[in-house]
């Protein structure tokens, strides 16, 4: 039996906002003056009582988290941390799905928003000393480690 932690991995379609660490979300919320629902900061937001589950609740929580991302440094932090977290778990490929329209008003437009994500991915490659590369794919920014 092979150890699953040693097997190569790929993380496909990781949502940009959903990739945030809880500590990052708390920091960004505090900096933006956003009061977050308790479920996002305490416990596991995926483990809710049956009467609190459903698409609309999920979307409300996701929108609350997205509302905290209001700057280029915040966007760069999310990408860097997502890349570091995936690399630590042995992932050789990461595809992060980002809708630049959500962040465009805070960074000067759709093009700058996408460029920030791609540049942050490129910088993550340098930090990892690996063959990371970035490219836009529709609404997604994709980068992977070669090999």
16-60, pLDDT tens digit by residue?
999 999 999 999 999 999 999 888 888 665 666 666 677 888 888
Q: Is residue 2 a part of any domain in this protein?
A: no
Q: Is residue 4 a part of any domain in this protein?
A: no
Question: What pLDDT score does 32 carry?
Answer: 93
Is a pLDDT exceeding 70 seen at residue 72? yes
Q: Is residue 3 a part of any domain in this protein?
A: no
Question: What pLDDT score does 12 carry?
Answer: 77
Question: What pLDDT score does 48 carry?
Answer: 64
Could you give the CA distance from residue 141 to residue 30 in angstroms, rounded to a whole number? Answer: 27
| More reliable by pLDDT, 21 or 142 | 21
List, edge to edge, every strand of the sheet that includes 133-137: 9-15, 91-97, 140-144, 133-137
Pick the closest to residue 31 from 79, 76, 71 (CA basis): 71
Contact 32, 70 (CB under 8 A): yes
The domain total for the chain is: 1
Domain that holds residue 131: 9-144
Which residues are registered as beta bridge partners of 9? 91
Give the mean model confidence (pLDDT) for residues 81-102. Answer: 84
The CATH code of the domain that includes 100 is 3.20.20.140
Which of 87-91, 102-106, 115-119 is predicted most confidently? 102-106
Q: Is residue 14 a part of any domain in this protein?
A: yes
Q: Which pLDDT band, with edges at 50, 70 and 90, does 146 fall under?
A: very low
Supply the pTM of this predicted model. 0.82
Q: Is residue 13 a part of any domain in this protein?
A: yes
Could you give the CA distance from residue 124 to residue 118 in angstroms, rounded to a whole number? Answer: 10
């Amino acid at each position: 039996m092979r150890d699953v932690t040693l097997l190569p991995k790929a993380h496909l379609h990781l949502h940009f906002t959903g990739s945030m660490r809880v500590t990052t979300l708390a920091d960004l919320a505090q900096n933006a003056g956003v009061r977050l629902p308790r479920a996002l900061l305490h416990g596991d937001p995926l483990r809710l009582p049956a009467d609190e589950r459903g698409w609309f609740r999920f979307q409300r929580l996701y929108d609350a988290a997205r509302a905290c991302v209001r700057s280029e440094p915040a966007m760069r932090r999310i990408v860097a941390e997502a890349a570091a977290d995936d690399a630590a778990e042995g992932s050789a490929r990461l595809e992060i799905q980002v809708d630049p329209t959500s962040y465009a008003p805070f960074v000067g437009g759709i093009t700058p928003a996408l460029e920030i994500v791609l540049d942050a991915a490129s910088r993550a490659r340098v930090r990892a000393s690996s063959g990371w590369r970035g490219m836009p794919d529709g609404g997604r920014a994709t980068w992977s480690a070669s090999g």
